Amino acid sequence: MLTFIVRRLLWTVLVMFVITVVVFIIFFKTPGVDPARAIAGRSPNPQTLAEIRAQLGLNRPFPIEYGIMMKKLFITRDLVSYSNQGVRVVQEIFAATPATLSLVFGAAVLWVVLAIAVGIAAALLKGTIFDPLLMVVALIGVSAPVFWVGQLANMISQGGLHGTFLFSWVPPLGYTPFTQSPALWFKGLVLPWITLSLLYIGFYGRVLRANLIETQNEDFIRTARAKGLTERRVLMRHNVRTSMITFVSLFGLDFGALVAGGALLTEVVFGIHGVGFLTYQALTNLDLPTIMATTVYGAFFIVLVNALVDIGYAWLDPRVRPT
C-alpha cells in the first residue's frame, strides 16, 4: 500500500509537469499570437511591451522561456498582472484560497451528509410513493441553476424578508475570514453553502440510490442476510459500504474541480472573493497572467485531489490495490 501511495504521488508530480508545459505552450506558443501583447492588457504602449519581453525572456529559446515562467510562478512568485496594475498574481491566488476552501469544504460536508441520507432513504422507500417523490426533488435540485438559486436566496435574505426574524441574521454579501470573526464567517457562508451543495445533494443522492439498489441484488448481500445479520447491519456495513466506491471517486473529482475555481458562479453571486471570483475578474479584464496562474493552480489541485481519490479508492476497494 505504501509503495502504491509513493508511486501514485510520483506520478502526480509528472502529470503536474506535463500540465505546466501544456499550459505554457497554449499561452505562449500559440501561432499568430504575440504573448507580450496579450499579457500587457488593453492598448499597451511599446515601452510596456518591451519591458514584458525582457522580463519574461520572450525572445529567448523555448526551454529558457519556460524556465523563467516557472521560476516566476513557483520560486520568486513575482509574476505581475498588467491590467491590474502590478498586483502579484500568485500572492493574489493564495489570498483568495481560504475563501474558496471555506465555501467548498462547508458545502461538501452538507452535500455528503445529505446525499447519503437522501440516497439511503430513497433506496429503503423503494416501491412507496416517497422514493419517486424524493428523486423528483433531487432532480429539481440538480436542474436549478446556481446563479438563479443564489440570486433568489439573496433577493429573499437581503431584500424583502431581511427585516423579519427569519433572515435578519444574514450579514451583507461578502466573505469574512474565519480569523477575523468565526461567527460572521459562518453566518455569511450558510446561504452560499446551501446554494452550492443543492446540485450535488441531488446528483449524489440519485447516484447513491441507484448503486444501493443495484448492490441489493448482489449475491454477497444475500450471504449477509443468510448469516443472520440485522437488516441495519446488512444495509450499512455491506450495501452502503460497497456502494460508496462510486460516490467517493465522483466526490474527489467534483471537490477538486470546485476548489480549482469551479465554484465561480456561487462566488460571484455571493460576492465571495475566492479563486473562482478571481478567475471571473481576470477573464472579464483579459488579464492573462492571472488566467494562466489560476489555470495552473486549478489543474494542480485537480491532479492532487485525484491522487488522493485514487488512494482513497484503493483503501475502499481492496481489489484495485496492488499486491
Partner 1 sequence: MTAETLLEVRDLKVSFRTEDGLIQAVDGVSLSLSEGETLGIVGESGSGKSVTMMSVMRLINDPNAHFEGEVVYKGRDLMKLTRDQMRKIRGSGIAMIFQDPMTSLNPVYRIGWQIAEQIQAHEQISKRAARARAVELLTAVGIPHAAERVDNYPHQFSGGMRQRVMIAMAISCNPDILIADEPTTALDVTIQAQILSLIRKLKNDFGTAVVLITHDMGVVADLADKIAVMYAGRIVEQGDRRDVFYDAQHPYTWGLLGSIARLDRPKPRRLSTIPGLPPSLLRLPPGCAFGDRCAHRFDRCDERPALLAKVGDGHLDACHLDIEKKKELRETTIHPELIEEAK
Specify whether the CB–CB gap between 317 and 245 falls below 8 A: yes
Q: For partner 1, give the closer residue by CB, 29 or 237.
A: 237
Q: For partner 1, give the closer residue by CB, 2 or 75.
A: 2
Q: At what angle do helices 182-216 and 146-154 cross, to 10 degrees?
A: 140
Q: Which residues pair with 244 in a beta bridge?
A: none
Question: What single-letter amino acid sits at 287?
Answer: D
Q: For partner 1, give the closer residue by CB, 72 or 209.
A: 209
We find the least distance from the C-beta atom of residue 229 to partner 1, in angstroms, to be 5
| 231 is a contact residue toward partner 1 (CB under 8 A) | yes
Q: For partner 1, give the closer residue by CB, 87 or 229.
A: 229
Site pattern 238..267 for partner 1 (x: CB under 8 A): x--xx--x----------------------
Q: Which three cell numbers stand for residue 63?
A: 526551454
We find the least distance from the C-beta atom of residue 111 to partner 1, in angstroms, to be 23
We find the least distance from the C-beta atom of residue 234 to partner 1, in angstroms, to be 10
Q: Which residues pair with 80 in a beta bridge?
A: 88
Q: For partner 1, give the closer residue by CB, 29 or 233.
A: 233
Q: For partner 1, give the closer residue by CB, 163 or 228.
A: 228
Q: Which residues pair with 88 in a beta bridge?
A: 80
Specify whether the CB–CB gap between 48 and 40 falls below 8 A: yes
Question: What single-letter amino acid sits at 108?
Answer: A
We find the least distance from the C-beta atom of residue 219 to partner 1, in angstroms, to be 4
Site pattern 211..230 for partner 1 (x: CB under 8 A): -------xxx-xxxxxxxxx
Q: For partner 1, give the closer residue by CB, 78 or 231.
A: 231
Residue of 296, 321, 320 whose CA lies nearest to 17: 296
We find the least distance from the C-beta atom of residue 4 to partner 1, in angstroms, to be 15
CA distance 323 to 318: 9
Please choose, out of 40-48, 82-90, 130-138, 310-318, the segment that lies near partner 1 by the rule CB under 8 A.
Answer: 310-318
Whether the CA torsion 120, 121, 125, 128 is positive or negative: it is negative
Q: Which three cell numbers stand for residue 31?
A: 501561432
> Which residues neighbour 248 within 8 Å (Cβ) at sequence distance 6 or greater?
309, 312, 313, 316
We find the least distance from the C-beta atom of residue 315 to partner 1, in angstroms, to be 10
Please choose, out of 134-142, 153-161, 234-242, 295-303, the segment that lies near partner 1 by the rule CB under 8 A.
Answer: 234-242
| 233 is a contact residue toward partner 1 (CB under 8 A) | yes
We find the least distance from the C-beta atom of residue 225 to partner 1, in angstroms, to be 6
CA distance 228 to 43: 76
Q: Find the angle CA(255)-CA(258)-CA(261) to the nearest 5 degrees.
A: 150
CA distance 225 to 218: 11
> Which residues neighbour 36 within 8 Å (Cβ) at sequence distance 6 or greater?
49, 52, 53, 56, 58
Site pattern 60..99 for partner 1 (x: CB under 8 A): ----------------------------------------
| 29 is a contact residue toward partner 1 (CB under 8 A) | no
Binding site for partner 1 (CB under 8 A): 127, 218-220, 222-231, 233, 237-238, 241-242, 245, 316-319, 323
